[in-house]
Structure 1
Amino acid sequence: MSTNSAIREEKSLRERIADNPRPAALWFAGFLVLLALEFGALWGMIMAVPWATFVNKLAFLKPIAAPFATFGDALANLPTLLTRDIFDNTGWQSPSGGWKGTFLGLSPAVVWAIRVVLIYAYTLGFLYWVWRGYLTFREHYRYADWTPRDDMISRFRHNTWGLFGFIVVFMFVVMAIFAPSLGTTTVEHNIQNPFSYKIHYLDKDTGQVKETLIGDANFGSRSRGDSGNVGPMTYDDYGRFHPFGTLPTGKDLFTFMMHGARISLFIGLTSIVVSGLIATSFALLTAYYKGLVDLAGVIIGDSIMSIPRLLLLLLLSYVLRGTWLGQIYNGALLFALLFAATGWPFLWRAVRGPAMQVSEQEWIDAAKSFGQSPVTTMKKHMAPYILGYLLVYSSMTLGGIIISVAALTFLGLGITAPTPEWGRAVDVGQAYTTTASWHISFIPGVLIVLIVTAFNALGDGIRDAVDPQSETGDDGGAEVAATGGSGA
């Protein structure tokens, strides 16, 4: 290695950027522009969780949290480029046949389609810019010309099944983040408080523009088989476009599904993060100390795994749903914590083996002999080598959590109404599956299957990228663990 390379390797990332700031500055400027265009929508995803309900239960936090809550609400209300205030699809048809109140006088279906296309185009651009950031780091600031991570990314980019999962999961995440903009209407107007808002519509019998409550319009747009139906990609009698049709209550199914994605993503990610932290901590502790610590971990984990998980979830959700914890996000936080508390042993079992393999390596013994603290050894020399495995199993588990939440809601024990959740749509539409209103259960059911399949496909793709020998069933041993966690 040359002297310049050695000096470059010894410098921190901040020092390397200071030596050559132009590439990083250009990328960061572009990132800030993209973030500013939709910052209100991105922050609105965070503010969608009613943190105030949790804070109100902890009185000592109120004086501290109140200013932050006010500031957060102000950020969430910032104007965004792709907001429905600009591309407004809520209007009415005039007697002459044109549209009033919509963007450029276009039909609601066209305005909605424009908004959807622009939102996904923006998110694809954002994703591409993040990828450009990684390439900029690799080209200008990384001290190594090659790392195992390069091969992992290359293998994943050529994995068709994994890319399919990534694309579908990406579309699902966009649904959750941009749900207020993607929906043909808003949850507040159409689902939660429909009798508090009015719309204008063209009465085709009289040829006059009239005004009515949204709740009354919903009542006249119900999908109940032979007694009435508003199917996918159609307008109702009030000039409102419904890409997925309507529910038996007349509420827009597409808007319901977009906001239901937020609930599913929140529960899935929260439970995976919490259970992943617990599983990683137990795996590192049991691998480092072994003996009685490992035995205690096995006893605790096996005790939880021995209890039928579905029965435990049903019992705990029924007992705790009436508590203050069950009121936060209409039960979403409760379910996230329940899935984490009952699911971490499965993740721990998945990463315990790799952690044991790494703990037997020479560099761990060397770290111990030099007097390095156990926490430092576990954090710096062991944790990076099990994160690849944790990511694989987490992505696969997340799909199972989503379908479990839908199943519990289907049984009436999941997320409470009126908060949208996909399982409730399947439940309320099951009586109409053989009628003209087949879409009520069919579309949410297909999306649930698609999302769960996509998370499994993503997990398979990550596994094949982390462990190239997994397809042939070979045992990669410690080398597999090292590939899964290394990189610069």
Structure 2
Amino acid sequence: MSTEQPRTTTTYRDRIRDRPVPLVRWVAGASVLLLAELGAVLAVVLGTIDGLVTFVLGSSPLTGAVGAARSLPTLLSREVVPNRGYFTGEEWMGTFLGLEPKYAWLLRVALIVVYGALWCGWLWFGYVTFRRHYRVADWTPTDDIVDRLRGHQWGKFGLVVVALFVLMALFAPAVSPTTMEQNIQDPYSYQIQYFSEQTGEVETTTVGAANRQSTSKGSTLRNVGPWQYDDFDRFHPFGTLPSGKDLFTFLAYGARISLFIGVSSMLGAGVLAMAFAMISSFYKGAVDLALVVTSDSIQALPVLMILILAAVVFSNTWIATLYNGALLFIALFTMIYWPYLWRAVRGPSFQVAEEEWIDAAKNYGQHPAQIMRKHMAPYIVGYMLIYASLTLGGVIISVAGLSFLGLGITPPTPEWGRAISVGQPYVASASWHISLIPGFLITLVVTAFNAMGDGIRDVIDPQSEQGDEAAAAATGGGA
């Protein structure tokens, strides 16, 4: 028999005051997990704020604070588990516990995956704690949604791959076998040590000079493939680029750009789409007609041509310098994709606008903005999650395609499409990895986002079907 006391209080503050132990326990666990990466988290937060302040004021007041944050201990870092070293002919020097670099790198990546899994598990435990101790209702529709998602294999596959993609982007400095500053941005400003078999001594050279001798250009004599070492004892999980730079490092940091553009543009487009959908369904008439004409006009434009034209026109302007051009594409994708998302949620928004509780809220004199926020938005946000996740993969492909054409993110900032472009001449050679590996990753990630969207759709509306009904819902009930 359950010994829990009935939750009769009406506010979260009262329920937490009556039963603080479960929340304190969860916060304590989350704090321990956060402390393990405190230096990296503070460095990212302060670095972002410093970048914004520098753009607005023209000065960098937080440089010292960012440096201090980076000096804080971080458990999952290359400093704690280093994989860069050299082989003397008998043993490895400079690596973690004297391990071979590939095993030291694998150990660090495995620890990062475990850390991500711990966070996912602890967040799930937090949801269970909230449901058991602080939620008023014993059951809500969310419980059935979560239970159905746990049994949706295709959706779980997408969720796992997307989680790994996000983990790769967030922990790019740690999962990479080297750093972006050393290997990609400014290789001639950094030096490495290696053991020379000719002289029998440890020698020093710049990273740039080592890259010139580690190129992958199609020939078996000039190629560093996946899971190989170069002549300077540097391990390359995915091989090297034609420039000799590490491909895995390039793709890990490129994942950050793709994720940032995709999530930010879908967030902006989703907010606009939901706002316009609720406005059009609430006021109907001329307002809805104006939005229909506007969305149809934008949808009639050739998306690829608009992106190419905008990339060329704004290439030499100040907006193209913001985050290496990423903010320009976020603005473009937001303006291009909101009509598609608006069409997707227009039908459900009209449906909820006809419900009795909306009429009751109007009769009680609630403000239209309050009605939309409290009574309409919760109903259509699930549909927005479905179509935003399905559309996000298209954004990633578009960014990669523009970079492939040389119109995407400003070099030398990594982007997956640029790797495919530079490796295109070597597809049928020993350097096949340059194009095929990023191409496979793009396909896998886009498929995962689609799978996750399918899973969200099926668990929110279990009676929906894969084909015609989804397409019909996307029309939003017609113009």
TM-score in terms of structure 2 length? 0.93
Partner of 2:384: 390
Selected match of 1:214 from 207, 226, 231: 207
Q: SS of the counterpart of 2:7?
A: helix
Selected match of 2:342 from 348, 373, 385: 348
Q: Does 1:123 align with 2:116?
A: yes
Q: SS of the counterpart of 2:205?
A: strand
Partner of 1:203: 196
Q: Does 1:246 align with 2:240?
A: yes
Is residue 195–residue 202 contact of structure 2 (8 Å, CA) maintained in 1? yes
Change in CA separation of 1:257 and 1:30 when aligned onto 2, cut-off 3 Å:
same
Change in CA separation of 1:162 and 1:277 when aligned onto 2, cut-off 3 Å:
same
Change in CA separation of 1:75 and 1:12 when aligned onto 2, cut-off 3 Å:
farther
Q: Does 1:282 align with 2:290?
A: no
1:92 Cα deviation from its structure 2 partner:
1.2
Is residue 183–residue 254 contact of structure 1 (8 Å, CA) maintained in 2? yes
Measured in 1, the distance between the counterparts of 2:150 and 2:399 equals 31
Give the counterpart letter for 1:377 in structure 2: I
Give CA-to-partner distance per residue, 1:245-297, whole Å, 9 cap, x none.
00000000011111000000010011011111111110111111111111111
Q: Does 1:133 align with 2:111?
A: no
Partner of 2:38: 39
Partner of 2:475: none
Partner of 1:177: 170
Measured in 2, the distance between the counterparts of 1:349 and 1:54 equals 34
Give the counterpart letter for 1:233 in structure 2: W
Partner of 1:8: 7
Measured in 1, the distance between the counterparts of 2:468 and 2:343 equals 20
Moved more, 378-387 or 464-473: 464-473
Is residue 287–residue 294 contact of structure 1 (8 Å, CA) maintained in 2? yes
Map residues 303-318 of structure 1 onto 2, 5 A cutoff: 303-318=297-312
Measured in 2, the distance between the counterparts of 1:474 and 1:197 equals 57
1:44 Cα deviation from its structure 2 partner:
4.4
Partner of 2:474: none
Map residues 400-439 of structure 1 onto 2, 5 A cutoff: 400-439=394-433
1:333 Cα deviation from its structure 2 partner:
1.2
Count of aligned residue pairs for this structure pair:
466
Give CA-to-partner distance per residue, 1:221-258, whole Å, 9 cap, x none.
00011150001001100000000000000000011111
Partner of 2:149: 156
Identity %: 55
Change in CA separation of 1:197 and 1:474 when aligned onto 2, cut-off 3 Å:
closer
Is residue 89–residue 112 contact of structure 1 (8 Å, CA) maintained in 2? yes
Change in CA separation of 1:48 and 1:450 when aligned onto 2, cut-off 3 Å:
farther
Give the counterpart letter for 1:58 in structure 2: V
Measured in 2, the distance between the counterparts of 1:52 and 1:363 equals 47
Partner of 1:366: 360
Partner of 1:480: none
Give the counterpart letter for 1:27 in structure 2: W
1:342 Cα deviation from its structure 2 partner:
1.0
1:80 Cα deviation from its structure 2 partner:
0.9
Give ranges in structure 2 of 5+ residues lacking alignment.
471-479
Moved more, 38-47 or 304-313: 38-47
Measured in 1, the distance between the counterparts of 2:425 and 2:385 equals 39
Measured in 2, the distance between the counterparts of 1:293 and 1:180 equals 49
Selected match of 2:138 from 121, 133, 145: 145
1:202 Cα deviation from its structure 2 partner:
1.3
Measured in 2, the distance between the counterparts of 1:73 and 1:210 equals 30
Q: SS of the counterpart of 1:321?
A: coil
Change in CA separation of 1:351 and 1:427 when aligned onto 2, cut-off 3 Å:
same
Measured in 2, the distance between the counterparts of 1:473 and 1:415 equals 35
Give the counterpart letter for 2:302 in structure 1: P
Is residue 305–residue 346 contact of structure 1 (8 Å, CA) maintained in 2? yes
Change in CA separation of 1:474 and 1:467 when aligned onto 2, cut-off 3 Å:
farther
Root mean square deviation of aligned Cα: 2.0
Q: SS of the counterpart of 2:174?
A: helix
Measured in 1, the distance between the counterparts of 2:46 and 2:236 equals 27
Q: Does 1:452 align with 2:477?
A: no
Change in CA separation of 1:415 and 1:347 when aligned onto 2, cut-off 3 Å:
same
Change in CA separation of 1:56 and 1:473 when aligned onto 2, cut-off 3 Å:
closer
Q: SS of the counterpart of 2:192?
A: strand
Is residue 53–residue 328 contact of structure 1 (8 Å, CA) maintained in 2? no
TM-score in terms of structure 1 length? 0.92
1:75 Cα deviation from its structure 2 partner:
3.7
Partner of 1:20: 19
Measured in 2, the distance between the counterparts of 1:380 and 1:394 equals 21
Is residue 220–residue 250 contact of structure 1 (8 Å, CA) maintained in 2? yes
Q: SS of the counterpart of 1:211?
A: strand
1:43 Cα deviation from its structure 2 partner:
4.3
Moved more, 401-410 or 291-300: 291-300
